[in-house]
Structure 1
Amino acid sequence: MSVRSSSLSALAVLAAIGLPLVGIQALDSPSTPPAAGPGRSDVMANLFQWNWTSVATECTDVLGPAGYAGVQVSQPADSLKRTELGNGSDTVLHPWWEIYQPVSYDLAGRMGTEAEFRAMVKTCRQAGVKVYVDAVVNHMTGQGAISYGGRKYSHFEYPGLYDAADFHQKGTDCPSTTGGIDDFNNLQQVRKCELVGLADLRTDRPKVQNELAGYLNKLIGWGVSGFRVDAAKHVGQADMIALQKKLRNTVDGSRPYVALEIFGGGPGYLSPQAFTSAGSAVLGLDGDIQLKNAFKSYPVDAPGSLATLQGFGEGSGLTPSEKTLSFVQNHDTERNGDSLNYKDGATNVLAQQFLLAYGYGTPQVYSSFAWDATDASPPSDQDGYITDTDCASKEWVCVHSDPAVTGMVSFHNHVGKAPVKNWWDDGGNLIAFSRGNAGWVALNNDKVDKTATFSTGLPAGTYCNVTTGVAKKGKCSGPTVTVGANGKAKVTVKGKSAVAFTKADRV
């Protein structure tokens, strides 16, 4: 979730803090990334603020056939429905961040009904795509009096669910003078004060944990395989672990996959590394900053330097690969400037290709709607309900279905966990590497074409470039690359593009 220091909006999420793990028992057996199905490994799509019927259609038509293993969907619970401007946005009545202010755990929100949600999960699973839900467990609302589902509420009163005793209060629990988090390096404030006015749940209370677990278990019972937990740093490690221990196994027979939103910037135990034992993974929020700096950097018109990506991951100070949900951007970072976004065009696509090729973390490809103002609403009707996604429309940005990206999903699935080998770079923006002897890729972040001779690590033969074509029945629908008996190939990589192939792409 993204917030403004004085009101709710879509600007950068404020850095948050958690408790140290000293004295806290880690999860006994946190889930690994999505289990592989036929022809797929662990790649997720993040279809941010798509309605449920559109997600279901995409699972059948695109995600399943392309080899995606999972899809992350937006926060589904009933939420704030604004009735007037102000308090976070003076121009947009129904900004995207409405859904991050839950009112109840009924599924009656902007993306559709409970029946549509359940049908979507069933459809996606039938297509071989597991569903992961964005879950808000730290707080309730910060404004408004009515929800999309028609529920009436006040800041500390949610009839039939929570009352004032279930929230941290200024003066008794929260030590700040404002009741909000004034110091993001103060553990008590981060855990017990309100994040920009959002009513902060006492997540250590058995009643609250039982309500939250009941909601998450309901979703698990419908076939959901895991969660992205919003603002997990404000919940803290102990409460996150206690909550997860109340969750049932998924219908797959495994523990739910739980990825925690932990922004970097905090020292020591306040870092993402300090939360890696409190869930299945943490979000790769430091990694997307490194990717932006490598592909774009900060001076105006800077070309970046892909050569700096050698050792990307743990070797560059990030959390362990097996404990990271990695991405080029998400809904917060595409707006707050931490990452690349769809407006970076070919550079953004190239960064997605690198992440899929390199194999750091559980990779996630983000798609959403076009925006000019950071508070912008997704395409919606006059009542705020999100309309069907049309990837041919300029209103939506469907990076996940770009053939240059789906080709690299196939690449990722075929190379598996093979190590990065045969690294080559020109010291600037042309890099190449193999994944063991299973696949090879070259990426050119310059605007001009570049030609070089590379060691591919693959046997001699002719291979289909999966970023521009598909190998089928011994033929390639696009350009090919010839690898010699010595495993080398002379390849021209066009500007702002990639060349990639695996053993399976030999024609």
Structure 2
Amino acid sequence: MHRGGAGSGAELSHRTPIAAAAALIAASVTLLAGCSGPAPAVRPAADRPAGTHDVGVELFQWNWDSIARECTDNLGPAGIAWVLASPPNEHVTGPEWWTSYQPVSYRVESRLGTRDQFASMVATCHEAGVDVLADAVLNHMTGRDAAGVGWAESSHEHYDYPGLYSDAAGDFHHCGRGEGDDITTYRAAFDVQNCELVNLADLATETTHVRGTLTAYLADLLSLGVDGFRIDAAKHIAAADLAAILAPLPPDTYVVQEVIRGSREAVQPEMYTGNGDVFEFGFARELEGMVESGTMSVSEGFGEDWGFLPGRVARTFVDNHDTERNGETLNYTDGAEYVLANVLTLALPYGAPVLYSGYAFSPGDDGPAQDASGRVEDADCGTVGPAERYADGDWVCQHRWDAIAGMVSWRSAVGDAPLVNSWTRGDGYAFSRGERGFVAMNAGDAPLARRFQTGLASGTYCDVVTGGSTPTAAEACSGDAVEVAADGTASLSVPPVGAVAIHVGARLS
């Protein structure tokens, strides 16, 4: 597909990356076929029986050794299905977080670790039963006008990357629309997909050479064991171009795409569902409004009924590394409100949730803690939770917060059980998931006290919001206990901006 603009349709027959890419892809398929790791768990299942794990987590800017330890020590035991690792490619130098998103080459060598460390991390996570996704930056290269040297000493200029791309060969777009070819309007698909995103050199993804080079990079990551990819800035690549880049990969390669929903914009998430799953930004934005305004009652039907993506292809989230910085969604600084938003996201049957775990920052450009050489230091969770005060650079580790970790186990326990026994009142919302779990949420500033129909059998249950991922210990509750009567009801006092959640797997014998 030719999209127009400078260099459009250039076939670059003087190069031979396609043959190399094909060979690499074939080798990747052979290697992957021989792997004995766990079956892929990244995909949201249409039928999700109890015990299924479908929750992912983005460990933003965690180095490879830290992710490996977290898979073994926490993610695997907690029932997390997959972890998203930040871009593993060589990038521009600098302390800011966004340097990782400005590729210089496709060498797996970055401030997060070496190629060997990356491969070892993937293998370790697989041993823990956790799949690994790599954040793949395919739309662009760097945004710096001056020539430079990348993290692994690869030289480059803004439109020249030796051995990869050059402007003279037609590997980049120059849309001619705005100053410096930057995007000036999001109401024209041509501008969004042919102009530059904040001066980032925009790749001509309609050309054979660019497509082949990107496919080869993804195939190389598959050869290191990754299970799939988050496609960064996917809306800035035509859906057909992205389909052509992904087509040669093994059919079980999981893909989730960043396509930010925007009102009256020309490019929308629905255009990309043929390539894989898509993050539903509308969900995260509306979630913030409901929690902050204390109108939890409008949550009923939250999902497809609100005009969002079909649940089978939607990835839901409370925040990510962009939205926590631009104020578009809730983030860790919102404390109890942030927790409540995660409880609702994990409790709903709509889509499949992705948790976020990063570090404290001020200002927004701040990168993670780095040593004198620029390498990212090991993540250290320490004491974490919504009430903690985090200094800049501290690892926030939201995925370990008791309520969030507890709701991951709750989601697994209820599986695909239907949403029933729904109750709403202004700032309150409660429901059961079949006969397997119950949750009550309160976004108000006063306790919510009433008797709820839980749908559960009588007995003593342990609240996972206060008890975390291990709500029972030594025949007692780690957090609060909930008594369910013979008629399935329970008298609860849900704290302000809080929740209570119980499930069949957290019932005392």
Q: CA deviation at 1:187?
A: 2.0
User: CA contact under 8 A between 1:168 and 1:174: conserved in structure 2?
Assistant: no
Unaligned stretches of 5+ residues in structure 1: 1-30, 83-93, 250-254, 298-303
Identify the match of residue 171 of structure 2 among 167, 174, 185: 167
Give the letter for the 1:76 counterpart: P
2:441 maps to 1:466: no
Structure-2 residue corresponding to 1:424 = 423
2:63 maps to 1:73: no
Identify the match of residue 259 of structure 2 among 257, 262, 266: 262
**Quick one: structure 1 residues 177 and 467, their matched pair in 2 at CA, closer, same or farther if it must change by over 3 Å?**
closer
1:205-244 deviation per Cα after TM superposition (whole angstroms, max 9, x unaligned): 1111111111111111222111111111111110111111
C-alpha distance in structure 1 between counterparts of 2:67 and 2:50, whole Å: 21
User: CA contact under 8 A between 2:42 and 2:82: conserved in structure 1?
Assistant: no
Structure-2 residue corresponding to 1:487 = 488
C-alpha distance in structure 2 between counterparts of 1:503 and 1:400, whole Å: 22
Q: TM-score, normalising length from structure 2?
A: 0.85
C-alpha distance in structure 2 between counterparts of 1:387 and 1:178, whole Å: 36
User: CA contact under 8 A between 2:171 and 2:210: conserved in structure 1?
Assistant: no
Unaligned stretches of 5+ residues in structure 2: 1-40, 384-389
2:155 maps to 1:156: no
Between the aligned residues of both structures, percent identity stands at 42
Q: Please identify, of 335-344 and 381-390, the stretch whose mean Cα deviation from structure 2 is larger.
A: 381-390
C-alpha distance in structure 2 between counterparts of 1:346 and 1:100, whole Å: 31
Q: CA deviation at 1:176?
A: 4.2
2:373 maps to 1:370: no
Give the letter for the 1:70 counterpart: W
1:56-455 paired onto structure 2 within 5 Å: 56-82=68-94, 94-143=95-144, 145-164=148-167, 165-170=169-174, 173-176=175-178, 178-249=180-251, 255-267=252-264, 270-277=267-274, 279-297=275-293, 304-392=294-382, 394=390, 395-427=394-426, 429-455=427-453
Q: CA deviation at 1:378?
A: 1.0
Q: CA deviation at 1:400?
A: 0.0
Q: Secondary structure at the match of 2:339?
A: helix
C-alpha distance in structure 1 between counterparts of 2:79 and 2:180, whole Å: 49
**Quick one: structure 1 residues 74 and 397, their matched pair in 2 at CA, closer, same or farther if it must change by over 3 Å?**
same
1:332-381 deviation per Cα after TM superposition (whole angstroms, max 9, x unaligned): 11111110011001110111111111132110110101012111111112
Q: How many residues in Structure 1 have an aligned counterpart in Structure 2?
A: 452
**Quick one: structure 1 residues 32 and 409, their matched pair in 2 at CA, closer, same or farther if it must change by over 3 Å?**
closer
Q: CA deviation at 1:269?
A: 5.7
User: CA contact under 8 A between 1:52 and 1:120: conserved in structure 2?
Assistant: yes
Q: Secondary structure at the match of 1:468?
A: helix
Q: Secondary structure at the match of 2:149?
A: coil
Structure-2 residue corresponding to 1:51 = 63
C-alpha distance in structure 1 between counterparts of 2:102 and 2:225, whole Å: 24
C-alpha distance in structure 2 between counterparts of 1:500 and 1:439, whole Å: 7
Q: Secondary structure at the match of 2:452?
A: strand
User: CA contact under 8 A between 1:45 and 1:366: conserved in structure 2?
Assistant: yes
1:20-35 paired onto structure 2 within 5 Å: 33=43
Give the letter for the 1:490 counterpart: S
**Quick one: structure 1 residues 243 and 37, their matched pair in 2 at CA, closer, same or farther if it must change by over 3 Å?**
farther
C-alpha distance in structure 1 between counterparts of 2:55 and 2:456, whole Å: 24
CA RMSD between the two structures: 2.0
Q: CA deviation at 1:446?
A: 2.5
C-alpha distance in structure 2 between counterparts of 1:420 and 1:258, whole Å: 28
Q: Please identify, of 259-268 and 148-157, the stretch whose mean Cα deviation from structure 2 is larger.
A: 259-268
C-alpha distance in structure 1 between counterparts of 2:478 and 2:119, whole Å: 38
C-alpha distance in structure 2 between counterparts of 1:463 and 1:50, whole Å: 36
Point out the structure with the larger helix share: 2
Q: CA deviation at 1:180?
A: 1.6
Q: TM-score, normalising length from structure 1?
A: 0.85
Q: Please identify, of 237-246 and 442-451, the stretch whose mean Cα deviation from structure 2 is larger.
A: 442-451
User: CA contact under 8 A between 1:454 and 1:491: conserved in structure 2?
Assistant: yes
User: CA contact under 8 A between 2:420 and 2:431: conserved in structure 1?
Assistant: yes
Runs of 4+ in structure 1 displaced over 4 angstroms?
A: 34-40, 173-177
C-alpha distance in structure 2 between counterparts of 1:139 and 1:271, whole Å: 20
User: CA contact under 8 A between 2:143 and 2:158: conserved in structure 1?
Assistant: yes
